Amino acid sequence: MRSFARSLIVLTAGVLLAATPGGSPADDLRGFTPESAKAQRDWEAKFRAVPSPDSLRSYMRRLSARPHHVGSPYDQDNAEWILARFKSFGLDAHIETFDVLFPTPLERVVELVGPTRFVAQLREPPVPGDPTSAQQREQLPTYNAYSIDGDVTAPLVYVNYGVPADYERLERLGISVQGAIVIVRYGASWRGIKPKVAAEHGAVGCLIFSDPKDDGYTQGDTYPRGPWRPRDGVQRGSVMQMEVYPGDPLTPGVGATKDAKRLPIAQAPTLTKIPVLPISYADAQPLLAALGGPVAPEEWRGGLSITYHVGPGPARVHLRLKFDWSLKTLRDVIARIPGSSAPDEWVIRGNHHDAWVNGAEDPISGQVPLLEEARAYGELLKQGWKPRRTIIYAAWDGEEPALLGSTEWVEAHADELAAKAVAYLNTDTNGRGYLGMGGSHSLQRFINDVARDIEDPETRLSVWKRTQLREIADASSADRRREIRSEPDLRIGALGSGSDFTPFLQHVGVAALNLGYGGEDGGGIYHSIYDDFTWYTRFDDTSFVYGRALAQTVGTAVLRLADADVLPFEFTGVATTIGRYAKEVEKLLQDEQEQTAERNRQLDEGLFAAIADPHERSVPPPRQEPPPHLDFAPLQNAIDALTRAADRYEKAFTRAQASGTAFAQAGAAGINAALIRTERALTVAEGLPRRPWFRHAIYAPGFYTGYGVKTLPGVREAIEQRNWKEADAQIDVAAGAISAEAAVLERAAAQLEQLVH
C-alpha cells in the first residue's frame, strides 16, 4: 500500500522535515567497542559495495511481469522465485502459508438512472507502448476489497473527502445523507474510513473517485505522456476497517492457519457496512454533473470542468456489487541468518511482494532492494561474516488487502516475537529524492547515524545532510530553522499504519522503522494497471540509483543492529518526544474549551441567524457543554520519570562507550535483554478503547483517519470524541505505560553502571 507509505513520508514531512543538527559522523559507532567498531565499519563498507542497479532492474522486470495479487498464479510464482533467490544467496529460507478471506469481484454495476442515463464503464484501457497494461485476463477488476455485497438505488450526495468534518459541514448546509449513495473523493483519510463514516450517517452506498486535482491532470501530464492519472485510471484498494484490527477478518488475534477457529463471515466486524466501489474521474464526471442542490463549498471543488454541487439528487444512482468470498492462500517467504552469539535476539526486515496488479512501484520498488540486501549478506557470509544476532528477511504476501501476510505471521509467532524481536525494519515502495524516516523514537539517534553514512546518488552529500537542508528550506519559521540546525538528530515521524510495521509495533510492541526515498517522484498510477515496469522506468527511479541507496540504507541498519555489542537504542529523544505529544493533547483540550465557549457565545448573540443568507439554507451548529478541566499530572509525572531514567541511562552508556571495554563484558547480554523490553513496556494488555488489538500507548492509526498517526491515541481520541471520563482513564493508562518503560530503563541503566565499575 504505497499511499500509506507515501503519505507517511508526505504527511510526516512537515514534522519530520523538521529536524536537525550539526551532524558530523561520530568517530565511534554507538554500542560497539572501538575494536568491534573497526571490524563493523569494514563489513559495512563491503556490504554497501554489493547492491547493483542492474540487478534491481532485472528483479523488477521479472516480479512485475504479470499481475500478482493474492491468490493469483503469478503471486505464487513470485513467492517461489523469491524463495529460490534467497536460497541461491546461501540463506536458509522457506514459505509459510496462511488461508485468509480475500473477496474478488463477480459483479460490478454503477449507473445513473435519473434524470439522465449513464452507465459507468469501470474499466482501465491498455496504453500503446506499455505491454503489461494489456494483460486484461489476469488483471483484478477495479474494486474496493472487503466491501459487502449490495444492490441499492438512491439519490446521490457529494461529500468531499467523506471524513467527519465534511459531514459537519453538510449538516450546516441542512443536508442529510440518510438513505443516499454518497460520492466522495480519494484523499485526506485511509479509504476505509469513507464508507465507515458514510454508513454511520445513514448512507446506503459509497462511490470513491480519483479527482484530477489530487493526482490527475491538474498535477501534470497524464500517463503515458506524463506520470499522472489518466481519465480512466482507478485506484483499487482495501476498505477494511483496519483501524479496528488488520489481517484476516475471520481470525482476529490468531494466525490464520488451516485449523484456526474462524468467525462466520456475517460476524466479521471489519467488513464495510455498505457497498463501496472506486471509480475513475471519467466515470465520476457525469454523476457529479447530474447533481443539483447547493454549489459545493469552495474547498470541496476539484479539478473537473464542471460546477461541483452537493445534491441530494436529482441524480439517482444504481450500485450493484457481488463478490467471491472464498479463502485464498497467502505465501510469506521467510529467510533466516542464524545469530552466532545471540541467536535468540531477532532483527527482522520486510517488504510485501503482492500487488493490486503489476505493482512495479507498489511494492516491487521496495522489494527489489530487499533482495539485493539478501544477496549482499550472502556475499558477506562467504567472506566469513557471522552476525551476532539472528537476521530474518520477510517478503510478505497480502499486504495490499489488509496487511494480511505480516499480521497473520506476527499473530502466529506473537509469543516468540515478544521474547526475541529486537526491531522490525519496513519498506513499501521506493522513489527518488529524500530519505523519509518514520518509527519508534528509541531508534531515532540510530537511524540518523545510519543516514549520515549513506551517500545521496544525485548530490554526493550524505542522505542525512541533504534531508536536513530540505527541512531547513521547508521550515515555516526562523525558530524552526534554528531547531533544525542545532538539534543533533532529524526528528523521525511517528508511525500510524498503512504498511507491514503495524502488527510488529502496535500489536506486539516491537521497535520499528519505516524507510523510503521520495519527494522528487510523483504520479497518479497508484493501485492501477499503469503501475508497471514501463511507467516506473520512464518516470520514477529510472536508473535505480535510489533503489541502491535504499538497499545500502536498510542493509547498513540491519547489519548494525544485528552486530552491536549493546543495542544502539537512545531514550532522551523518546522522553522529549513523548513530552511534546503530552503538550499537544493538553493544547487540544484547551482549544476545544475555547472553541466551545466561543461558539456558545455566538449562538447567544444570534450570530448564525444574523449572517445567514436568506436565499440559502443554513443550520446553526449545535450548542455543546464546555469541556471540563482534566488532570494531566499523572502523565507529566510519568514523563518526568522517563526523562530521569533516560538521562541516567545515557550517562551510563556514554561512560561505558568511552571505557573502550565495557560493552565486551558478559553483563552486556543482560542490558540487551532489558533494552528489547523497552518498547514492549509501552504496550497495554487491554489495548485501546474499542480496539483491543491495538496495544501501543503512544502510536496508533486514527479511528477516524485510518493511517494518519494519533500519538497518545487513547487520550487524544477520547478528547476528540468529548468522552471526558474515558480521557481521564486513558491519561492513567498512558502514564502507566510510560512509567513501565522508565522502570525497565532504570534497571538497564543500573546494569550498565555495573559494567564500568
| Binding string, residues 261-290; x marks residues near Zn ion by CB under 5 A | ------------------------------
Q: Is 1 in the site for Zn ion (CB under 5 A)?
A: yes
Min. distance of Cβ 2 from Zn ion in angstroms?
5
| Binding string, residues 426-465; x marks residues near Zn ion by CB under 5 A | --x-------------------------------------
Size of the site for Zn ion (CB under 5 A): 5
Measured CA distances, 533 to 59, 61, 309, 538, 550 (Å): 11, 6, 39, 8, 19
Stretch that binds Zn ion, among 219-227, 359-367, 571-579, 582-590 (CB under 5 A): 359-367
Cβ distance 12 to 493 under 8 Å? yes
Helix axes 2-16, 463-474, angle to 10 degrees: 70
In terms of CB distance, is 1 or 425 closer to Zn ion?
A: 1
In terms of CB distance, is 43 or 393 closer to Zn ion?
A: 393
Min. distance of Cβ 359 from Zn ion in angstroms?
8
Q: Is 96 in the site for Zn ion (CB under 5 A)?
A: no
Min. distance of Cβ 1 from Zn ion in angstroms?
4
- Length of the chain, in residues: 757
Min. distance of Cβ 160 from Zn ion in angstroms?
26
Q: Which of 216, 363, 387, 398 binds Zn ion (CB under 5 A)?
A: 363
β-sheet with 276-279: strand ranges across? 118-119, 104-114, 316-324, 150-158, 181-185, 205-209, 276-279
Q: Which helix (H) or strand (E) holds 328?
A: strand 327-337
Tell which positions 2-21 bind Zn ion, by CB under 5 A.
Answer: 2
Q: How far apart are CA 312 and CA 292, in angstroms?
A: 7
Min. distance of Cβ 602 from Zn ion in angstroms?
46
Q: Is 70 in the site for Zn ion (CB under 5 A)?
A: no
Cβ distance 70 to 140 under 8 Å? no
Instruction: Using alpha carbons, select from 757, 75, 221 the residue that is nearest to residue 523.
Output: 221
In terms of CB distance, is 1 or 50 closer to Zn ion?
A: 1
Q: How far apart are CA 37 and CA 702, in angstroms?
A: 41
Q: How far apart are CA 424 and CA 508, in angstroms?
A: 11
Min. distance of Cβ 148 from Zn ion in angstroms?
24
Asked whether the CA dihedral 331, 335, 341, 346 is positive or negative, the reply is negative
**b/e code 723-740 from CB counts within 10 Å (16+ = b):** ebebbbebbebbbebbbb
Min. distance of Cβ 512 from Zn ion in angstroms?
16
Work out the number of other CB atoms within 10 angstroms of the CB of residue 479.
9
Written as nine digits, the cell of 366 is: 521496495
In terms of CB distance, is 2 or 336 closer to Zn ion?
A: 2
Min. distance of Cβ 352 from Zn ion in angstroms?
6
In terms of CB distance, is 40 or 351 closer to Zn ion?
A: 351
In terms of CB distance, is 155 or 547 closer to Zn ion?
A: 547
Task: Name residue 185's beta-bridge partners.
Answer: 209
Tell which positions 409-428 bind Zn ion, by CB under 5 A.
Answer: 428
Min. distance of Cβ 360 from Zn ion in angstroms?
12
In terms of CB distance, is 252 or 405 closer to Zn ion?
A: 405
Task: Name residue 318's beta-bridge partners.
Answer: 111, 153
Cβ distance 336 to 92 under 8 Å? yes
Q: CA 260 from chain center: how many Å?
A: 28
Min. distance of Cβ 521 from Zn ion in angstroms?
15
Q: Is 700 in the site for Zn ion (CB under 5 A)?
A: no
Stretch that binds Zn ion, among 325-333, 360-368, 540-548, 648-656 (CB under 5 A): 360-368
Cβ distance 186 to 706 under 8 Å? no
Instruction: Using alpha carbons, select from 167, 109, 170, 118 the residue that is nearest to residue 315.
Output: 118
Min. distance of Cβ 4 from Zn ion in angstroms?
7
In terms of CB distance, is 194 or 352 closer to Zn ion?
A: 352
Min. distance of Cβ 284 from Zn ion in angstroms?
25
In terms of CB distance, is 333 or 380 closer to Zn ion?
A: 333
**DSSP 8-state code for residue 131:** G
Task: Name residue 699's beta-bridge partners.
Answer: 711
Min. distance of Cβ 428 from Zn ion in angstroms?
4
Min. distance of Cβ 498 from Zn ion in angstroms?
8
* Residue 29 DSSP SS3: coil
Q: How far apart are CA 66 and CA 55, in angstroms?
A: 19
Stretch that binds Zn ion, among 133-141, 157-165, 362-370, 463-471 (CB under 5 A): 362-370
In terms of CB distance, is 44 or 428 closer to Zn ion?
A: 428
Do β-strands 92-101 and 327-337 pair in parallel, antiparallel, or remain unpaired? antiparallel
Q: How far apart are CA 391 and CA 337, in angstroms?
A: 5
CA angle 168, 172, 178 (to 5 degrees): 65
Q: Is 362 in the site for Zn ion (CB under 5 A)?
A: yes
Stretch that binds Zn ion, among 1-9, 282-290, 332-340, 635-643 (CB under 5 A): 1-9
Min. distance of Cβ 356 from Zn ion in angstroms?
9
Catalogue the long-range contacts made by 162-169 (C-beta closer than 8 Å, 24 or more residues apart).
162/189, 162/193, 162/194, 162/197, 162/198, 162/206, 162/208, 163/188, 163/189, 163/193, 163/194, 163/197, 163/704, 163/705, 164/197, 164/704, 166/300, 167/197, 167/201, 168/621, 169/297, 169/300
In terms of CB distance, is 311 or 363 closer to Zn ion?
A: 363
Cβ distance 145 to 588 under 8 Å? no
In terms of CB distance, is 429 or 657 closer to Zn ion?
A: 429
Stretch that binds Zn ion, among 29-37, 241-249, 363-371, 409-417 (CB under 5 A): 363-371
* Residue 329 DSSP SS3: strand
**What torsion, rounded to 10 degrees, do the Cα atoms 706, 708, 713, 715 define?**
-110
In terms of CB distance, is 233 or 401 closer to Zn ion?
A: 401
Phi-psi region of 430 (alpha: psi -120 to 50; beta: other; left: phi over 0): beta
| Binding string, residues 594-633; x marks residues near Zn ion by CB under 5 A | ----------------------------------------
Stretch that binds Zn ion, among 49-57, 354-362, 472-480, 582-590 (CB under 5 A): 354-362
In terms of CB distance, is 71 or 212 closer to Zn ion?
A: 71
Min. distance of Cβ 490 from Zn ion in angstroms?
24
Cβ distance 430 to 369 under 8 Å? yes
In terms of CB distance, is 67 or 363 closer to Zn ion?
A: 363
Min. distance of Cβ 363 from Zn ion in angstroms?
4
In terms of CB distance, is 275 or 363 closer to Zn ion?
A: 363
Q: How far apart are CA 128 and CA 612, in angstroms?
A: 54
Min. distance of Cβ 402 from Zn ion in angstroms?
12
Burial class of residue 121 (count of CB atoms within 10 Å of its CB; 0-12, 13-18, 19+)? middle
In terms of CB distance, is 96 or 361 closer to Zn ion?
A: 361
In terms of CB distance, is 1 or 197 closer to Zn ion?
A: 1
Binding stretches for Zn ion (CB under 5 A): 1-2, 362-363, 428
